[in-house]
Amino acid sequence: MPERTYYVKRALELGADHAVLFELKDIVFDSRTILKCMFGCADWGKGPTCPSRPGSLKPWEYRKVLEEYTWGIIIHSTNKKTAQEVSFALEREAFLDGYYFAFSLSDCALCAECAGGKGNPCVQPKKARPAFHSVGIDVFHTVRRFGLPLQTLSDQNQTQNWYSAVFIE
């Protein structure tokens, strides 16, 4: 298996603006994230990776599952699709390298228009993953530990920072 730093280098080669190794102790879990999903997201009740979907784990349940991992990679990009594509690529590479539980978390940008948002089944269910924040992770607190950029935006024209992660074990 490659050294852990390989995945950081690979993420940067694939187009990430930043990529950092994390240990599980660096991840800040906070179940209040579900409130921002429920009362701040227009996709609540619609998206195929949304915590509102039937059978979805709740943040406190995700925490129990994710705490089985010991390390991973946080990926930053100012492009949502890039963040997701890099996390998928790293998940696949890590899996092929023998880390068969590798799992990525990323805001979905697979389709130009989400079928799930229209009440239809997801057209790419094998690739769809829950967002980093929707599983109960305080992304702001977590990425700031690494000095990565993230702030609340007061204007939609401001540069957005997108984060994904790959939990590897």
How confident is the model over 59-94, as pLDDT tens digits?
999 999 999 999 999 999 999 999 999 999 999 999
Q: Match 């089985």 to its residue by tokens.
A: 68
Average pLDDT, the chain: 90
- pTM for this one? 0.91
Q: Which residues of 114-124 are buried (b: 16+ CB within 10 A; e: fewer)?
A: bbbbeeeebee
Is the confidence at residue 40, as pLDDT, over 90? no
Going by C-beta distance under 8 Å and a sequence separation of 6 or more, which residues neighbour residue 47?
53, 108, 114, 116, 117
CA proximity to 74, closest of 132, 29, 19: 19
CA proximity to 47, closest of 144, 129, 159: 129
pLDDT of residue 94: 97
pLDDT band at residue 168 under the 50/70/90 scheme: very high
The full set of domain ranges for the chain reads 4-168
Q: Which residues of 57-95 are buried (b: 16+ CB within 10 A; e: fewer)?
A: bebeebbeebeebebbbbbbbeebebbbbbbbbbbebbe
Q: Which carries the bigger pLDDT value, residue 141 or residue 152?
A: 141
